């Protein structure tokens, strides 16, 4: 990529926590008035190094590491949602469909089928679909595609 100076990344000022794409000018005019160019340059380089560090340390976060640091599922959900919303990937995250209450046990369906058998209804195709896993897997597929869309 051509480095004509226009391709700039926003950097954080460590004194006032402002994000700016003109950190050197910001430091000169506001937070480090009177500083020499060497100091300004060093501060800008430090801010660039910080951005690289954040990107490499937080691009992928281990689920177990987060879980070990929080004391409730609510906090865990919050941090995972927060990090994912910022573009981080959560590694080794367990499947989200475990707590699903929409699953219908096969025995329940078969019992219901027997009860309805006296009504003379051709219900044989519906339990077959459940047995083949079609009904159970569809929420899982939907959940996954929704997740990918967010990222």
| 60 within 8 A of 89, measured Cβ to Cβ | yes
Least distance to Zn ion, CB of residue 149, Å = 37
Which residues contact Zn ion (rule: CB under 5 A)? 13, 15-16, 18, 31
H-type helices in 4-150, by residue range? 23-26, 37-58, 63-69, 73-85, 106-116, 125-131, 134-150
Using the minimum distance from each CB to Zn ion, give the nearer residue, 15 or 89: 15
Dist CA 50 CA 100 (whole Å): 41
Q: Which structure tokens are listed for 11?
A: 């950097």
Least distance to Zn ion, CB of residue 33, Å = 11
Closest residue to Zn ion, judged by C-beta, is 13
Least distance to Zn ion, CB of residue 7, Å = 22
Using the minimum distance from each CB to Zn ion, give the nearer residue, 13 or 70: 13
């Amino acid at each position: 990529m051509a480095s004509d100076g226009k391709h700039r990344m926003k950097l954080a000022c460590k004194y006032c926590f402002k994000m700016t794409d003109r950190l050197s000018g910001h430091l000169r005019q506001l937070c480090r008035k009177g500083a020499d160019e060497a100091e300004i340059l060093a501060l800008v380089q430090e801010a660039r190094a910080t951005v690289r560090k954040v990107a490499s340390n937080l691009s992928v976060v281990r689920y177990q590491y987060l879980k070990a640091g929080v004391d409730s599922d609510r906090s865990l959900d919050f941090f995972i949602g927060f990090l994912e919303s910022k573009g981080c990937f959560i590694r080794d995250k367990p499947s989200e469909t475990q707590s699903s209450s929409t699953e219908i046990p096969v025995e329940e369906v078969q019992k219901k089928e027997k009860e309805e058998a006296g009504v003379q209804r051709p219900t044989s195709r519906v339990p077959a679909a459940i047995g083949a896993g079609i009904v159970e897997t569809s929420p899982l597929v939907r959940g996954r595609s929704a997740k990918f869309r967010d990222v």
